[in-house]
Structure 1
Amino acid sequence: MKKIITILGARPQFVKAAVLSRVIKKNNELEEVIVHTGQHFDSNMSDVFFKEMMIPNPKYNLDINSMSHGAMTGKMLADVESVLQEEQPNAVVVYGDTNSTIAGALAAKKMGIKVVHVEAGLRSFNMSMPEEINRILTDRISDLLSCPTQTAVDNLANEGYANLPIMIEKHGDIMKDAVEYYSQFSSDRSSIIEELNLQKGEFVLATIHRQENTDDIDKLRAIFKAFEEVHQKHQVVLPLHPRTKAVLEKHQISPKITFIDPVGYYSMLELLKNCSMVITDSGGLQKEAFFNKKHCIIVREETEWLELVNHGFAKIVGSNSELIKAAFEEFTASDKDFSIELYGNHVGEKIYQSIKTLIEA
Structure 2
Amino acid sequence: MMKTTSSNEPLRILCVVGARPNFIKISPLMRAFRARADEFDARLVHTGQHFDAAMKAAFFQQLNIPEPDVDLGVGGGSHAVQTAQIMLRFEPVIDEFSPHVVLVVGDVNSTLACALVAGKKQVAVVHVEAGLRSFDRAMPEEINRLLTDQIADLLFTTERDAVDNLLREGVAEAKIHEVGNVMIDTLISHRTDAVPSADTLQRIAAGRGAIGRFGVLTLHRPSSVDDPETLKHLVRLFVELSEKLPLVFPVHPRTHQRLQAAGLLEQLLASGIVVAEPLGYLEMLGLMLDAELVITDSGGLQEETTALGVPCLTIRENTERPITVSEGTNTVVGVDEAAIRTEFDRVLTTGGKRGRVPALWDGNAAGRIADILLEWASKQRKAA
Find the aligned partners of 1:178 and 1:84 in 2 and give their Cα distance: 28
Given that 1:225 and 1:321 are in contact with CA atoms closer than 8 Å, whether structure 2 keeps it comes out as: no
1:4 aligned to which of 13, 29, 32: 13
Match runs of 1:186-205 below 5 Å: 186-187=194-195, 191-196=199-204, 202-205=213-216
Cα distance change on mapping 1:189 and 1:234 into 2, 3 Å: closer
Which of 20, 23, 34 is the matching residue for 2:44? 34
What is the CA–CA distance in structure 2 between the aligned matches of 1:251 and 1:355, rounded to whole Å? 48
The change in CA–CA distance for 1:274 and 1:189 in structure 2 (over 3 A counts) is: closer
- The equivalent position to 2:295 in structure 1, one of 266, 271, 279, is 279
Q: Which has the larger radius of gyration?
A: 2
Instruction: Give CA-to-partner distance per residue, 1:212-260, whole Å, 9 cap, x none.
Output: 2221122211221221111111111111101100011011113222110
- 1:190, 1:266 within 8 Å by CA — same for their partners in 2? no
Q: Which residue of the other structure, out of 23, 26, 32, is the alignment partner of 2:32?
A: 23
Deviation at 1:190, TM superposition (A): 9.6
Q: Does 1:170 align with 2:188?
A: no
Partner letter of residue 260 of structure 2? E
Kept in 2, the 8 Å contact 1:205–1:279? The answer is yes
Q: In the TM superposition, what is the alpha-carbon distance from 1:340 to its structure 2 partner?
A: 4.4
Once the two structures are TM-superposed, the CA of residue 292 in structure 1 deviates from its matched residue by 1.6
- Contact residue 40 and residue 46 of structure 1 kept, 8 A: no
Superposition pairs of residues 7-156 of structure 1, within 5 angstroms: 7-28=16-37, 29-156=39-166
Which of 243, 261, 282 aligns to 1:266? It is 282
CA contact (8 A) 1:189 1:266 kept: no
2-structure distance, mates of 1:100, 1:293: 31
Return the alpha-carbon distance in structure 1 between the equivalents of residues 360 and 294 of structure 2: 19
Shift of 1:354: 1.6
* Partner deviation per Cα, 1:201-220 (whole Å, 9 max, x = no partner): 61110100011222112221
Q: Give the C-alpha shift of residue 199 in structure 1.
A: 6.8
8 A Cα contact 1:200 1:276, kept in partner: no
Matched residue type, 2:103: V
- Corresponding position: 1:303 with 2:319: yes
More displaced, 298-307 or 209-218? 209-218
**Percent of counterpart pairs with the same letter?**
36
Shift of 1:182: 0.7
Is 2:44–2:69's contact at 8 Å kept on the other side of the alignment?
yes
Q: Give yes or no for contact 2:327–2:357 (8 Å, CA) kept in 1.
A: no
Equivalent position to 1:350, from 359, 364, 368: 368
Residue type at the aligned position of 1:269: L
**Take 2:360 and 2:295, find their aligned partners in 1: how far apart are those partners?**
21
Change (3 A) 1:338 1:312: closer
Amino acid corresponding to residue 184 of structure 2 in structure 1: K
- The 2-side partners of 1:296 and 1:5 are apart by 34
What's the counterpart of residue 323 of structure 1?
339
Task: Tell which deviates more after alignment, 186-195 or 242-251.
Answer: 186-195
Amino acid at match of 2:247: V
> How far off is 1:189 after superposition?
11
Q: Is contact 2:197-2:290 (8 Å) kept?
A: no
Question: Does the Cα contact within 8 Å between 1:186 and 1:270 map onto a contact in 2?
Answer: yes
Question: Shift of residue 343 of structure 1?
Answer: 4.5
- The 1-side partners of 2:152 and 2:172 are apart by 13
SS in 1 for 2:172: helix
Shift of 1:176: 1.1
Tell me which residue corresponds to 2:189: 181
**Matching residue of 2:256:** 245
1:206-217 correspondence to structure 2 within 5 Å: 206-217=217-228
Pairwise CA distance, 1:315: 1.2
Whole-angstrom CA distance in 2 between matches of 1:95 and 1:320: 32
- The CA distance in 2 between the partners of 1:285 and 1:338, in whole Å, is 15
Q: Tell me if the contact between 1:120 and 1:152 (Cα under 8 Å) persists in the aligned partners.
A: yes
Distance verdict in 2 for CA 1:270–1:114, change over 3 Å? same
Q: Between 214-223 and 304-313, report the one with greater CA deviation.
A: 304-313
- In the superposition, the TM-score normalised over structure 2's length comes to 0.89
Instruction: Say if 1:90 and 1:113, in contact at 8 Å, map to a contact too.
Output: yes
Equivalent residue of 1:161, what SS? coil
With the length of structure 1 as denominator, give the TM-score of the two structures. Answer: 0.94
Shift of the alpha carbon at 1:195? 2.4
